[in-house]
Structure formats: structure tokens, C-alpha cells
Amino acid sequence: MLKLSFFHPILLTTSLISACTAQSPPVVRVAVSVDWEGRDLLDENLQAFVDFHKAHPDVPLTHFLNAAYFTKTDADEKKIAEQIRQTLRPIDELGLHIHPWKSLVEAAGINYRSKPTIWGEGRSRSVSKTDEDVGHDISIEAYATDEMQKIVRKSREILNSNGFDLGTSFRAGAWLAGPHVREAIRREGFLVDSSATDTKWHGRIAQYDLPAMIRSIWPNVTSTTQPFFIETPAGKLLEMPDTGALADYVTVEEMVGHIQDAVEKLNAKHHRFAHIGFHQETSAEYAPRVIAAIQEIKAKFGKRVIFETLEVSAQHVVTREP
């Protein structure tokens, strides 16, 4: 697994994003990610990874792992670690994903906050009747920077102690990586965030507060936004936008169309970066969409599209390699 160690102040300029060399023709570089929500690990969802690997053994996944599986009451750490590990391959990459589950927040020594909810005051949208833990639907930006740093640090400690060596990439729960979150993750050594997204994909939840919350943090981000740097008090952070959101909200046709749009924007000088993916907790239902979309993308665009992990894409951005 590649780990980024290239962040030198001289290199951290926005001009690097549009610069490239002439070593090879520009392509669309696509990262396929999985958000592990921290809720449960059901057999049918774990089976979806077997199906994905069988269909596309050459396509690496960027797994944003969540430590909350290990903090729930009576969690069997050995079993949980094995369940997660069976979905991973050497070509995959591990990043960090955080939803502020009560058990995780308290494990970090922080007082749990029960609002604001991403669905709206007094509203809920439970996707599981087995939840004993709470907090998945709370904005992590509600926590102060110092508090968030402790949650990030504890998450990494838990995952590392269970055999998961994380890279330097992060995605915020519900894409809500505001200033508190960004500074906290940068303090803890994370160099790449992939939380910026376009709420055009979220029409099916337009009645809830989440789309507006996303837009308030990422007001200028669209589905075509390319990587950019963000200043934080702890240093610069490379934002690699989740341009295509996740398959719970995006159809096969929309995913293929999203990549086609990126291909059409290619020119002689610039690579394009794009992103698609799914959630572990709903992978039985939605991973097949990603499998089908990738199959069509390969057939339709051939070598104009490359599938790679997020940090590999980030390496290309920063070092100006094609």
C-alpha cells in the first residue's frame, strides 16, 4: 500500500493541480472507494466484495475504514477484524472514515453530542433495526477541533491495534469535513481528504437537511471539480473530491455518464480525476451498480480511463506525474 510522504512546502502550490508532464497521454484517473459506516458487518454485504473482486480483479478499492465496529458493546474484535480483512486485497488501500457513533466518541474520552442530525431536528432515517449504538446521523463538524483530533487519533489506534495499517487519506461521515474536521485530520498526519462532493447526486434525500449541510461546507464543488489544496492551521490538505458520490444515490447510467463527461474534458495537457464508490453496509444492494458501471466504462473508454487508489491519484497530482 502506497503511503504519501511527499508533502513539501515548495510543492504545495495550487499550480501543481493543472500541471503535468508529457510522458504519456492524459487519461481519466478513477478511484473507486468504499465507505465503512461502522454499523454492522452482514454476510450478504461481505459477499458483495467477493463478487466485486471476481468481476474486476484489476480494479483496486480505497477502503475508508471505521473504528466504531470495535467500540460497540460486546464487540468481538478478533471476529470483526477477520470479517473486514477477508474483503481486502494487496492492491487495495486503507483510509479512515468517521461517523461520530456514541461508543467511538466516548472511547476517545469525549462527551457525546446528540445534534445536529443530518436529517433535521426531530427527524431520523434509520436503515437498520439492529442499531444499539447511536450517533451515525450526527454531523462530525459539531465537535470542536481538539475533540475531533482525539476521535481521529483513537480511531487510528483502534484500527492499527487490530492489524489495519492506514494510509494518509480520510473521508468524513456524510461528506461533512468542515474546518474543525480538516484541521483535526491534518494535525493527525492525514494529507488527503475526499469529502467534497456535489449534492446534485442526492436528489432522493432532498427533503432532509444533509444536502444543504454539504453545500454549506462545499459551496463551489461540482461533479467536475478537480483536486485542490485547502489551507488549515495545521498545514495544507489535498482535497480529492468524491466527484460521483456513492452508488446509493447514483445509477449505473449516471456513473457511466459521469466518467464520459470526464473523458470528453480531456485535452493534450491535463489529466482528469474522478471518483465512484459504494457503502459497505449497503453493498449487497448497490455494489452491483458499481460492478456494472465499471464493466461499461472499460468497454466504452478503454485505455482513456485508469482505475487506481486514491493516494495513487494524489501522488500524480502532487508530483506532476502523468
Domain count across the chain = 1
Quick check: is 92 in a domain? yes
Looking at residue 197, its pLDDT comes to: 98
Find the domain containing 137 and state its range: 15-319
Quick check: is 312 in a domain? yes
Please tell me the distance from the alpha carbon of residue 235 to that of residue 187, in angstroms, as a whole number: 8
pLDDT band at 123 (very low <50, low <70, confident <90, very high): low
- Say whether pLDDT at 196 is over 60: yes
Is residue 79 classed exposed, middle or buried when 0-12, 13-18 and 19+ CB atoms within 10 A define those classes?
A: exposed
Looking at residue 26, its pLDDT comes to: 94
Residue pair 225/255 in contact by the 8 Å Cβ criterion:
no
Quick check: is 210 in a domain? yes
Residue pair 264/300 in contact by the 8 Å Cβ criterion:
no
pTM, rounded to two decimals? 0.92
Mean pLDDT of the chain: 92
- Say whether pLDDT at 225 is over 80: yes
The C-alpha cell at 261 is 463527461
Quick check: is 5 in a domain? no
Quick check: is 9 in a domain? no
Quick check: is 46 in a domain? yes
* Percent above pLDDT 90 for the chain: 86
Looking at residue 7, its pLDDT comes to: 47
Q: What sign does the dihedral 171-174-178-180 (CA atoms) show?
A: negative
The CATH number covering residue 287 comes to 3.20.20.370
pLDDT tens digits, one per residue of 19-36? 444 467 899 999 999 999
Quick check: is 223 in a domain? yes
What is the maximum alpha-carbon separation in the chain?
A: 56
Quick check: is 2 in a domain? no
The C-alpha cell at 55 is 468481476
The strand pair at 228-232 and 235-239 is best described as antiparallel
Looking at residue 268, its pLDDT comes to: 81
Residue pair 101/207 in contact by the 8 Å Cβ criterion:
no
